[in-house]
Amino acid sequence: MVIFVEILFSLLIGGIGFLLLKNKDDLLGIKGKSIKKTAVGFGVWLIILAVAVLISILVWGSAPWPVIGILIVAMFSTMLLGIIISQKMFH
């Protein structure tokens, strides 16, 4: 059961990363080079984290602690992404 939740989180993180890469030119109505760099950087980073979660599942099985560490990093990354996007939207 734990492995299914970990795989679900991996798919969610990877999906966010993929959508950032897909919509890098016009992210939430923000256009320009600065948002493109942000979207590409965070998109690649979140895809790397999603792959790291899957590798962690393969290596450690249902042990939750390695995956929790990666998910905490992903949570802080998405929080930082939200802060950066908010600054670019309202600046």
Q: Which residues pair with 26 in a beta bridge?
A: 31
Predicted pLDDT of residue 34: 72
Q: Average pLDDT, whole number, for the chain?
A: 86
Local confidence band at 14 (pLDDT 50, 70, 90 cut-offs): very high
Domain extents for the chain? 2-90
d(CA 69, CA 85): 24
Question: Comparing C-alpha atoms, which of 41, 63, 47 is closest to residue 11?
Answer: 47
pLDDT tens digits for range 24-63: 777 666 676 777 888 889 999 999 999 999 999 899 887 7
Task: Classify the C-alpha dihedral 26-30-36-38 as positive or negative.
Answer: negative
d(CA 87, CA 4): 35
Predicted pLDDT of residue 89: 77
Predicted pLDDT of residue 45: 94
